[in-house]
Structures are given as structure tokens and as C-alpha cells.
Structure 1
Amino acid sequence: MPVTPRGATLRRRIRSTGGRLIRRLGLLPAGTPDGVGEDAALLGTSWRYEVIVYFADTPEALYQLEQWYDTLRALDESHPVVVVTRDSRTARAIRADSGLDVRTVAHYTTLDDVLGRSATKLALYVNHNPENFTCLRFGNLVHASLMHGDSDKLVSVSNQTKAYDFSFVAGQAAVDRMARFSTLYDAPSRCVPVGRPQLDGQLRRRAETARGPVPTVLYAPTWEGGQPSAEYGSLATHGRAIVRSLVESGRYRVIYRPHPLTGVRDARYGDADSAVREYLAHAPAPAEGPGHATDTGPDLGPAFAAADLLVCDVSGVAMDWLATGEPIIITRPGSGAVVASSPLLDLAPRLTAEQAGNVAALVERELGEDPTRQRRLALREHYLGDTRPGAATARFIAACEQLMAIRDREVARVEAEISR
């Protein structure tokens, strides 16, 4: 039977009411924003914020934003910052942990209304969520991608980067990577090296932390990746052998730090994660100092501060560790992951799955002889720029100010064109 206009209206109301109830009860599929916004209170108002950080994700992805909290608080001291979310659960978590102002905006029309009344100039993004386009529509803002780490993964060279006016990157290595592997993209003009401001606090903490009596090895694998070509993770292929070799040697303390998304795509990684945690929980402690540990805290700093050597995958953790100046071992993926040459990957010892069971011998050599130390230290500036504590944060703030000045100039130019 044909649906009458009255019947169609009733169905829409039922669907709308049902959707609101599902959102309110938190019964949404994982990764789906609840859309419970502050729109009614925001409509018709303005705000004082010069900078918005647009984060459309659910709480599972908060690790991408959390690493920027200290830096954004520093920016907020001179240029007011607001985090805009599309999920009320995410907003609550950010408010509780960041000290930043947060607004939850469910509808594009609300954001359009508020931004039209406000002096907001700069929008920042820490990932490539497709929902970012809700904010990218606004031509009266300058849009900059921050992302949540720099690495030699080829997936770091994403075509999605072209959507933003500028991309903040760690150092010249990232600019070179984009220029080398991207198409139709002017990397030197659109990439802005700012270092890794997140390292400012980590390096201070490391300088204040005394080394333990037994050398500590940090094993920090990445996750399995979103597709086979990005499966850089070693946990399923190397993980148990690495940890067992180090523990059974009796010469090292092990800190295991899994990636927050471990096992979300491939159950083998989740099983390996459980096995490593279980093994370390019952492994005999070193003769001196603290026992082995699994670190799942939001801050990488304590693990970095305690470690003497890092075993990791091709990932952003490797880049950040360069700032410490200490030895590093990088795994060689046993999957179909695409790995291109890079200065760090060509220099660092690479560990295959077959060699994982004897990693303790390699660790002993690297800690004792550290044959690549001088060349590795020379790479630090290439990848990270100035790593003196505070330098990257200052550079980040200066870059934001430069982009806001560009925005003012461009908006004035467009308004002049319109008024002709």
C-alpha cells in the first residue's frame, strides 16, 4: 500500500525518537559518535576561541588526541583553544583529562552558525577521520593536520593529507618522505616542521629519572594496521619470542607497551597480547630492581624514562625514541607490509621473526658497543629538529601564529574580491 504523507511523517518521528534513544543508552556500534550535542545551547551564540581542534572520534581513539594535551594547553595560554567533538562520551573524557574547553556539536548547521559569529581562525586535526570534512568546509579557517605521530610507515604518506591547507610534521625527514612518495603535492611549501612537542615533557622526565641497576628494555610494538600493506606489527610474529629471550637471559628488565588498537582487526594480535601479558605477570623478576611490567597508561613518558634500549616496529615510537639518543632495534615485518628505505631503517639493526628468539644477544651488543651511535645522533635533528626541552612547543606555537596570520591575509583578500 502507498505510504501517505501523514504515515511518512510518523515513520520519520519514530526513527528519530528511536535513534535518540539508542544514542542516549549508548547502544551504538563501536566507532560511531553518539551525536548527543550541545547544539540547542550553542545556536545563536559566539565563542572566544581562535583555534579549534576538531575530533570526531569515539573514546577508543582518544590516544590520538591525548598526546597533544600539554602542547594545546601551552597554545591556549596565548590563543584560546576549544576541542570540538561529535560524541558526548568523548567530550566528557577530554574535559576530565585535558583541562581544555570542549564543545560537542552534532550538526553542521550549528558549527556554521557559531563560526559565522566568532573570530576562530585555525582548525587542527589529529587524524584523517572522514568526518573531518564537516569542518574542512569552512573556507574562512586555515586547516592544519597534526596527526598523532611521525613514522617511516608508507601509510604516513596519505593522499588525505592534501585535504588540509598545511601539515605539521616533525622534521625534514617527513618533508622528504612526502616529497618522495606522494603525487601532485608540494611538500616543501605545505609541510611545516615543528618537531615533536610531546617529547618536551618526556625528555625532562627522562633526565630526572635514575637508571635502574639492571638495564631495561622497552618492547613497544605497533598494531596490525588497517590493511595488509600496513601490517607493520611484530606482536603476532615476534612478540612472545622477544619477551621470552630477554626474560630468560636474566640480564634485563622488560617493559611491554602494546598499541591501544592491538587486536581490533586481527585476533592473532589480541591473542599474542594476552600471552605476553600473562607471561610477564608470572615471569621471575631480575636479580635487582623492579620486576617486569606491562604499561598501558595514556602517557608514553614513564616507559621512555625507565628504558635503556627500545625494541619496536616501523612506527612513530621509533621516531620519538631518537630524541633519547639511546640504542634501538627495529623489527622487520613478516607480512606483506610495504617498507621503503629510509635513513633510520637503513641504519638501525633489523630483527626478523626468525632472529627474535636470540634478541638478548643483539641487545647485549647494542648496549655494550652501540656501533651506530654517532650516525644515529646525527639523524636526530633530521627527523625531529631541535630536541632541547621546550624548543618544539615554542616552534609549534609560532607555526600556529604564522598560519593565523596567513588566514587573516587570505580572508581579507577574498572579502576584497567579493566587494568588487
Structure 2
Amino acid sequence: MVIALLAVSFLTLAVTAVVPNVPAMIAAAVVSIAVEVFLYRSQRGLVAMFAKMHVDTTVRHLVRDLLIVVALVRLQEQDDEGGMAGPLLVLLAFYGLHFAIQAVSVVVRRARTTPVLTRNIDTSGLPLTAAPPALLLRRPGHRLLILGLPATAGLLGAGASGEALWGVAGAGVSALAALAGLFVLGSHLLPGRRPPSEAAVLAWFDAWLAEYKPTIGMYFSGGAASAYQANMWLEPLAKLDGRPVIVLRERFMMQKITATDIPIVCLPQVHHLMRLEHSTLQALIHPSNSGKTSQVLRIPTIKHTFVNHGESDKLSSCNPYAKAYDEVWVAGPEARERYALADVGVEDKDIVEIGRPQLDGIVTYKGAPQGEYTDVLYAPTWEGWDGNPGNTSVVAAGENLVRALLADPKVRLVYKPHPLTGSVDPRAGAADLRIRELIRAANRGRTGARPGPEAVAELARRTAELDRLTTSTFRESADNLERMMLQTAPEPGRAAAVTAATSAWVEAYWAALPAWEHQIVTDARPDIQTCFNRADLLISDVSSVISDYMASGKPYAVANTSGLSETAFREAFPTVRAATVLTPDAAGVPALLERVRDPELDDLREARAELKLRLLGPSEPPSQVRFNDAMRALCESALQHRRRMTEREAHIPGQRAAAPTGDPELTTG
């Protein structure tokens, strides 16, 4: 609809340029500008799509004004009068100033791009300056739309009145506004308003490393959608003994990491990353593999361990890249055996079982469902990169499973698809949309009491409080890339406050929803573990979701869309051993629900307990304790390595001194 309106408005402008019609020209211009505003406010995806097609806002605005000018010239020719030269010259001046702003903005951005970005670090020692308005610095299309509005209005006024003066006045206002913007932007290139030089920032960073003396940390690099992989390790990392730091490589990732008190540094350039070699940093955990991981692995003074962002029976959970790390930390013995069977070069001596410290808050099995409704969580994974039909159940079984669940009047379905669903196979995306419509239709056919306005107001209050705590990570600034550097030290206790606020928000969230209403959960909140705690039953695919859900001990089912027989399916995927296996037609759903509601029929409870031990390891000592012990041992290994390096280099004349070994007590904080 939006694209059609935009196309019709431009087509109408083109027609009025050939056959002048003032009312039609004004109407088409107003509609096109209204659509532009709507696009910028709520359809950023379409804005990006137009940019990829090389018809971005600048092109569209230029074409729109050009068509209006042509129409005005045609009108003047019909009246045998001149006078359009003035508005045209002023309009050209405005566009010249606009492109001058664009050129200067590139220079200013480059001058203000610091080699290091930080969060939760006091940067008062750096003479940082406030950034120019984002409208001038980073939003050329939005800038042209706003500054060019008087010019377009003036041209339309000239067409309606026949007076060229309106066009001159409108274009003149736009030109003056652009000139003022150019002056404001250019002032940031003056010596007194320039940010510190690269050398000054790096010297400050080295001084901070020497003062803070980080000992442990997390390294992360990836795309915007992968931030959850790092976020799941924030709390366990914060609880470790030592002085933690988070090392990022992409500037945009600074805003994707959720609220934490851990110092965060972003080092986009590899030669700046190498400065960590001369710090007291001893060990880094890695939640994922990326192309840039190999760069940090070059630092010999730091020990590296792969902790992954989840474990499953998929080949990705025993990637050959893992052998590049000093150690691989897994949840339990099942993962150890998985690496042995995969034979990808990871030696058994380098594998350490630590459990899953993120799962400490999972509610354990308490028997039959406690409420009127049986809460079923359907959390399928995505289609993956290899095209294996067994990766996701969404395409072959999703709609059948959902229909079978919705057919039971005492089921409350919570559907939480993987964020990447449909990103590789369009069929998965289409099936996901159909599943959502099935759920919405089922809700329209259900009736029941709804929570009162007090519950809704409480959720709004809790949401506002949680947003305040999590977004106040950044100081307000127009320049998204620099505001991380503009903040001072973190507010003490903010991480604990976020934890408490999150818990309160979760309680308010579920309290504000009708107990009978099916839910589609696609936002970051509530997270998958929160959904675990609400569920009486999980239905999923072979993925890390199953492994994590095992911490609850509650019943679960796995959809078999692989084409294998049930026996072969269970043999191929150990995490399915304690599951009810569902066929693509979902024929087994009614019997499954019956077993969930009657613990006497639950013949897989002992199998789940045994599998939980294999997947996640023992409950004692707690996973966080084992995580801490593993980190201590790895740090001690790093210190011993540094001592050996120092001893060797002491016997080689002219050899560069090794990085500082620090104090062995640094491993205990």
C-alpha cells in the first residue's frame, strides 16, 4: 500500500510535468511527502530497501522537485511569461549546500571516529566534545526531507498563485537553513572542538589498562542478530573472581550488549587489539566463532577458551574451529563424547566440564500442571545453513503441531520462533507467518476474563523502569558511535538493580496476560528461560533449546522431520533419548498432553534425570562454582606461560620483553 501510494504520487507528478495541472501536482506532492515521513517514522525496512535499489530519499526528493519545476516551466510557457529562473537558481543553491553538508559530514565523522570505544569506564580524562546533531552528521535523507520542505512548499505555492516569488522565498528559506547547518557542522572541525587524536586516545587506553589491571574477560564479534550469544554470559562472567572486561570488535555491538557493570571496550582495528598483549589480561571466554576470532588468538600472553552459546547434537556444536582455542568448556560428559566421536582435532585433555551457569534460575519439575491450563512452549529452531530438512520443524510439521495443540481447549500455547527463521529458506518464513495467523484466529475464538487495568498499569510501570535501567547505559548524545565514550563510570549496583527489575517485569508480564490466551513471543523479553519456567511442556527441534530445558526436568517432545525412523532418530541425536518423538502429522500430540497432565503416565521421568546429568553435569558443586574454578585454573596456566616466556627472553640478547606477568593473586581478584 505504501509503495503503491508513493509510485502513484510520482507518476502523477510526472504526468503534471507534461500536462500541467496545479491541483493534481499539489495533491501528488503532498501525498509523496506524507509517505516519506511515514517511511522514516515506522517503515525503516522499506527505507533500506529503496536505498539498495538506488532510489533513496535524496534521489526521490530531487526527482520530486525537478518534476515540480518542469511543471512550473510548462505553466509559464502557456502564459507566455518568464520568471522561473529565480526559484530555479535558489533551489540549485540549496541542493549545492546540501551536498556540501554531506561532504563535510564525512570529514567530521572521520575526525570523530575514535580508535577505542568504551562503556562503564570513566573517560573524564579525555577531552571529549559533544557531537554535532545527528540530522547533520548521519542522516542525509532525513536532512534533505526536512530542510527541503520549505523549497518544495514554495514551488507548489508558485504553481498555485502564478507568482515566482513564492518559489524564491521557499527555496531561500531552505538554502539559509542548509547554510546554517553547514556552519554548525564545519565548526566541529575547529581546533578547539576537535576530539583527541588517535595517539592521545590510545595513550589514555593504555593508562586505563595499567590502572584497572583486567585479569579475565569475554571476546565477542558478530552480526547484530548474534548479540544474544554474548548477553547470556554477562551474569556468569560478572560473578567470577577477578577483574573482568568485555572486548568487542564492531562499533554497533556496543549498543547490543545489555546492561552490565563490566567494563566494555571496542577495538575495531586489529593493530589496536594487539595492545592487550601488554596488559594483565590472562584469559578470555569466547561464546562464538567469527572471522575476527583468529586475530585475538594471535596474542600469546592470553589463554582462550570456547564456551559456546548453547549445545546440541548438531554438527555446529563440535566445529573443527574449536581446536584453535587453548581449552573448550562444555556443560557435561555428553558434549565431551560428542567431540570425541566427531574427531575434529579437539583433544580430550583440553575439554573442561563446567555445566551451564546461566541455568541456575530454571524452575524444576513439580509434577502435573498447577493451573487450569497446560502451558505448552513451542520453540522451533531455524532452518540452518546446510539445508537439512531435519533442522527445523516449522516447514514440515509446524502448522500440524500448532493445530493439534490449539484443538485442545485446556492448552495455552506460547510460540517462540527462532529470530533467524526464514532468513535462509523462504518456506520457513512463510510457514512461520501462517502459524502466527493460526494462533491469532484461535485467540479470536476464545473468551474469558482479562486482567484489570491495575495489572496493565503495573506492567507499563515495570517496563518503564526496566527500560530506564537498561537504556541509561548510554548518556544522551546525537552521535550514536561516540556516546559510549561520553559516559562516566557506571552507577554502582546498577547490574543488581537490573536483575531485580527484570524479575519484577517478568512477574508483571505474565500477570497482565489472560491465562487462556495463546501468546506469540518474538521480542527479546521475555527470554527463552522465562518461557521455560512458565511451560509445563516443551516442543522443539534438535537444538540447544532442548539441552537448556533439561535443567527443568520437565517433559519435552522433539519433532522428527529428518526422514529417519524413530529408532534411528533417537540413535542419531542423544538429546532425544528422554523425549517424546512427534511425527510431522502431529498425531501423537493428544497422548502427549495426557501424559503431561497425569504424572502416573510419565514413563520418561527417570530417563530425563539421567539425560540431564549427561548433558549438564552434576548439580553439586553448582555450575557457577565449576565455571569459576575452571577460570582460576586457566588464569594460572596463563601466568605460568608468561613466566616461561620471560625466562626464555631473558637469555636472548635484544629480545623484546614479554608482556607484564602481573601479580598471581590477580586470578582471585
- TM bin, normalised by shorter chain, reads 0.7 to 0.9
- 1:92 and 2:255 matched: yes
Alignment of 1:5-404 (within 5 A): 25=138, 42-44=201-203, 45-46=206-207, 47=209, 48-75=213-240, 78-94=241-257, 96-113=258-275, 115-186=276-347, 188-203=348-363, 211-229=370-388, 232-284=391-443, 285=446, 289-298=515-524, 299-334=527-562, 341-354=572-585, 356=586, 358-368=588-598, 369-387=601-619, 391-404=622-635
Aligned CA distance change for structure 1 residues 309 and 105 (closer, same or farther; 3 Å): same
Contact 1:327 1:367 in 2 (8 A): no
Aligned CA distance change for structure 1 residues 40 and 302 (closer, same or farther; 3 Å): farther
Aligned CA distance change for structure 1 residues 157 and 100 (closer, same or farther; 3 Å): same
**CA deviation vs aligned residue, 1:148-188 (integer Å, no higher than 9, x gap):** 001111221110111111111000110011111124331x2
SS at match of 1:90: helix
In the TM superposition, residue 362 of structure 1 has moved relative to its aligned partner by 2.6
Please give the alpha-carbon distance, in whole angstroms, between the structure 1 residues aligned to 2:306 and 2:312.
Answer: 15
Please give the alpha-carbon distance, in whole angstroms, between the structure 2 residues aligned to 1:386 and 1:230.
Answer: 34
CA RMSD of aligned residues (A): 3.0
- 1:419 and 2:650 matched: yes
Aligned CA distance change for structure 1 residues 278 and 193 (closer, same or farther; 3 Å): same
Please give the alpha-carbon distance, in whole angstroms, between the structure 2 residues aligned to 1:25 and 1:136.
Answer: 34
Contact 2:313 2:574 in 1 (8 A): no
Q: Which deviates more from structure 2 when the two are superposed, residues 170-179 or residues 54-63?
A: 54-63
Contact 1:39 1:106 in 2 (8 A): no
Contact 2:248 2:266 in 1 (8 A): yes
Contact 1:219 1:257 in 2 (8 A): yes
In the TM superposition, residue 196 of structure 1 has moved relative to its aligned partner by 0.6
Please give the alpha-carbon distance, in whole angstroms, between the structure 2 residues aligned to 1:202 and 1:182.
Answer: 33
SS at match of 1:330: strand
Contact 1:67 1:198 in 2 (8 A): yes
The one-letter code sitting in structure 1 at the alignment partner of 2:402 is: V
Q: Which deviates more from structure 2 when the two are superposed, residues 404-413 or residues 291-300?
A: 291-300
Please give the alpha-carbon distance, in whole angstroms, between the structure 2 residues aligned to 1:194 and 1:383.
Answer: 11
Aligned CA distance change for structure 1 residues 83 and 290 (closer, same or farther; 3 Å): farther
The one-letter code sitting in structure 2 at the alignment partner of 1:330 is: V
In the TM superposition, residue 104 of structure 1 has moved relative to its aligned partner by 1.3
**CA deviation vs aligned residue, 1:96-130 (integer Å, no higher than 9, x gap):** 523322111111111212x1432000111111111
**CA deviation vs aligned residue, 1:41-88 (integer Å, no higher than 9, x gap):** 65231412212311112321111112112112212xx31222221222
Aligned-residue identity in percent: 30
Looking at secondary structure, tell me which structure has more helix per residue.
2
**CA deviation vs aligned residue, 1:203-258 (integer Å, no higher than 9, x gap):** 38x88xx9432111111111111212485111111111111111112121111111
Please give the alpha-carbon distance, in whole angstroms, between the structure 1 residues aligned to 2:543 and 2:597.
Answer: 22
Which structure 2 segments of 5+ residues have no match? Answer: 1-105, 114-136, 141-196, 450-514, 652-669
SS at match of 1:216: strand
Q: 2:638 aligns with which of 377, 402, 407?
A: 407
Which structure 1 segments of 5+ residues have no match? Answer: 1-15, 28-37
Contact 1:200 1:387 in 2 (8 A): no
In the TM superposition, residue 25 of structure 1 has moved relative to its aligned partner by 4.7
Contact 2:536 2:596 in 1 (8 A): no
Contact 1:312 1:329 in 2 (8 A): yes
The one-letter code sitting in structure 1 at the alignment partner of 2:521 is: D
Paired residues, what number? 385
Please give the alpha-carbon distance, in whole angstroms, between the structure 1 residues aligned to 2:372 and 2:403.
Answer: 20
The one-letter code sitting in structure 2 at the alignment partner of 1:254 is: L
**CA deviation vs aligned residue, 1:296-341 (integer Å, no higher than 9, x gap):** 34322221111011111001111111111111111113479x9762
Please give the alpha-carbon distance, in whole angstroms, between the structure 1 residues aligned to 2:635 and 2:373.
Answer: 49
Aligned CA distance change for structure 1 residues 408 and 39 (closer, same or farther; 3 Å): farther
Aligned CA distance change for structure 1 residues 343 and 227 (closer, same or farther; 3 Å): closer
Please give the alpha-carbon distance, in whole angstroms, between the structure 1 residues aligned to 2:390 and 2:262.
Answer: 34
Which one has a bigger Cα radius of gyration? 2
Please give the alpha-carbon distance, in whole angstroms, between the structure 2 residues aligned to 1:345 and 1:58.
Answer: 31
Residue of structure 1 equivalent to 2:471: none
Contact 2:542 2:573 in 1 (8 A): no
Please give the alpha-carbon distance, in whole angstroms, between the structure 1 residues aligned to 2:232 and 2:423.
Answer: 21
Please give the alpha-carbon distance, in whole angstroms, between the structure 2 residues aligned to 1:231 and 1:399.
Answer: 35
What is the TM-score with the length of structure 1 in the denominator? 0.83
Please give the alpha-carbon distance, in whole angstroms, between the structure 1 residues aligned to 2:250 and 2:198.
Answer: 12
Contact 1:232 1:335 in 2 (8 A): no
Please give the alpha-carbon distance, in whole angstroms, between the structure 2 residues aligned to 1:268 and 1:242.
Answer: 17
In the TM superposition, residue 282 of structure 1 has moved relative to its aligned partner by 3.2
Contact 1:244 1:357 in 2 (8 A): no
SS at match of 2:362: helix
SS at match of 2:414: strand
Please give the alpha-carbon distance, in whole angstroms, between the structure 2 residues aligned to 1:344 and 1:26.
Answer: 49
Contact 1:197 1:396 in 2 (8 A): yes
Please give the alpha-carbon distance, in whole angstroms, between the structure 2 residues aligned to 1:154 and 1:26.
Answer: 43
The one-letter code sitting in structure 2 at the alignment partner of 1:380 is: K
The one-letter code sitting in structure 2 at the alignment partner of 1:257 is: K
In the TM superposition, residue 19 of structure 1 has moved relative to its aligned partner by 10
The one-letter code sitting in structure 2 at the alignment partner of 1:349 is: T
SS at match of 1:123: strand
Residue of structure 2 equivalent to 1:7: none
Please give the alpha-carbon distance, in whole angstroms, between the structure 2 residues aligned to 1:52 and 1:41.
Answer: 25
Contact 2:277 2:302 in 1 (8 A): no
What is the TM-score with the length of structure 2 in the denominator? 0.53
SS at match of 1:364: helix
Please give the alpha-carbon distance, in whole angstroms, between the structure 2 residues aligned to 1:25 and 1:386.
Answer: 52
Aligned CA distance change for structure 1 residues 41 and 381 (closer, same or farther; 3 Å): farther
Aligned CA distance change for structure 1 residues 386 and 358 (closer, same or farther; 3 Å): closer
Please give the alpha-carbon distance, in whole angstroms, between the structure 1 residues aligned to 2:280 and 2:288.
Answer: 24
